[in-house]
Amino acid sequence: MADLPTITLDNLADILQSDNAVKVAGVDIDGVLRGKLMNKGKFLQIAKDGFGFCSVIFGWDMHDQTYFRELLVSNKENGYRDLIAKPDLSSFRRIPWENNVPFFLVSFYDPDTGKSLDVCPRSLLARSVAKLEAEGIGAMAGAEYEFYQFRVPKNTHGDDNTTNSSGTARFLQNNPPSSLPHLTEGMHGYSITDPGRNQDWYYDIYDTCAKMNCPIEGWHTESGPGVFEAALAYCSASEMADRGALFKHVTKSIGSKYGITPCFMAKPKQGLPGNSGHVHISLIDKSTGANLFARDTPDANAPYPDLIHLSDIGRHFLAGLLDALPDIMPIFAPTINSYKRLVENFWAPVTVSWGFEHRAASIRVIGPPVGSPKATRFEVRLPGADTNAHLVFAAIVACGWRGVQTKMEIPIPPLSKGDDVGGSADKGERLAKDLRVATERFMRKESVAREVFGDAFVEHFGGTREHELRCWQEAVTDWEMKRYIEMV
């Protein structure tokens, strides 16, 4: 991992002494990094109090189309006013493939109140984490991203010397996605041979992530043509969310150099496995570092064998997550495509479910005797790779903590190892099968999302999902043309 200095306002100018520019970026509602390059002098002037940043990044979608129904943060009526963007000095990095230019993440603030913006993903997570930290508790996390790699098709540039991945979008304007070539072919999960076929790219991703301070703990092929999985090294939940956003930025930037386009869609290809974005969560005592999900001694009277080694606070946290899952689905499955991953028989969870070391349940409990007590944690398996990491961790922390505060009891029995998700032994509710149903549940008056995040965030994020639905409703797909062109 990069050995970076601790930056304060006092030493900032000294750290940047040899630089002439600084890059900054914030996270929008879809998890896309939005930012710019700034003159160093300008950055030093705004480092303390922030600078104006156009609110339109919260008024349009991932393709810069303004929302059909304008939302409160940014709209014609308020003139798409500026927000205040404040650099987070602790997020300092250097971008290795851009001549080591200094880089900082920013969070957004309301210019009228001075308070953190209700819909800023980094701020939403910070507010959730702050409630735990007020009690001396820290949230620790891990993240795993699966994603497809596609080769940039040949002869799409008009210039044979161009190898960056911008040719992929151009190719898809006139060709079906099914004709996009995979980086590798076949189903070869955990292969140690396949990475060697593209080893310059493979090791460049690994090494660059370390230099970018988002180190990879494990990096391997997954089952599927051109599919790889990266497990990011364990750290605090707030830092892990930043690393999740930056990891995607690294893979897209480095991939482009090799003519490779990474794809984090939840389900890029019909009939093939989808791309998950599993995340791990645990709580620690900040003063001692002790894992608060681990039980000091096995509980002989545990309601289920799966809970023998799980502490009371861990049980309440788990209960809070299970109770909230149906109401927060648009955060874990934010796109039309997300729900094509969450189907039966593809190792994907489809119900409110949990179990010790159960890899098909929505929440997998990990701990003794399989792992050490200090590694006791939950793997939340619902999110896809298409999610916004800041929203995912904000939801997990907020909903789990709600369970702790109310001493909530686990509502359903666990799935045993041989039990199928959705089978007769699964007593959990079937989760939403599409974005419309999920968004309606998310936005209802009694939604858990409103309780933990407030109305302002729910109305905004729900409105962005309604926009996504309308875009889909107005789209004419290749499937429709193939099915109906001659027959109707």
Q: What is the pLDDT of residue 418?
A: 75
Q: What is the Rg, in whole angstroms, of the alpha carbon atoms belonging to the chain?
A: 23
Higher pLDDT, 422 or 281: 281
**Amino acid sitting at position 284:** I
Q: What is the pLDDT of residue 25?
A: 98
pLDDT, average across residues 72-95: 96
Beta bridge partners of 51: 85
Q: What is the pLDDT of residue 173?
A: 84
In tens, the pLDDT along 280-321 reads: 999 999 999 999 999 999 999 999 999 999 999 999 999 999
Task: Provide the pLDDT confidence category of residue 154 given band limits of 50, 70 and 90.
Answer: confident
In tens, the pLDDT along 405-414 reads: 999 999 999 9
Q: Is the pTM of this model over 0.85?
A: yes
| Cβ neighbour number for residue 78 with a 10 Å cutoff | 12
DSSP string, 400-452: HHHHHHTTPPP-SPPPPTTPPTTSTT--SPBPPSSHHHHHHHHHSTT-HHHHH
CA-to-CA distance for 392 and 338, rounded, in angstroms?
14
Pair 377, 269: CB distance under 8 Å: no
What share of residues in the chain are helix, strand, coil (percent, to 5)? 35, 20, 45
Q: What is the pLDDT of residue 421?
A: 80
Task: Provide the pLDDT confidence category of residue 78 given band limits of 50, 70 and 90.
Answer: very high
pLDDT, average across residues 408-424: 86
Cα-based angle 362, 291, 242 (whole degrees, multiple of 5)? 65
Q: What is the pLDDT of residue 172?
A: 85
Maximum separation of any 2 CA atoms in the chain, in Å: 72
Q: What is the pLDDT of residue 159?
A: 53
**Amino acid sitting at position 261:** T
In tens, the pLDDT along 137-150 reads: 999 999 999 999 99
In tens, the pLDDT along 160-193 reads: 555 566 778 888 888 888 889 999 999 999 999 9
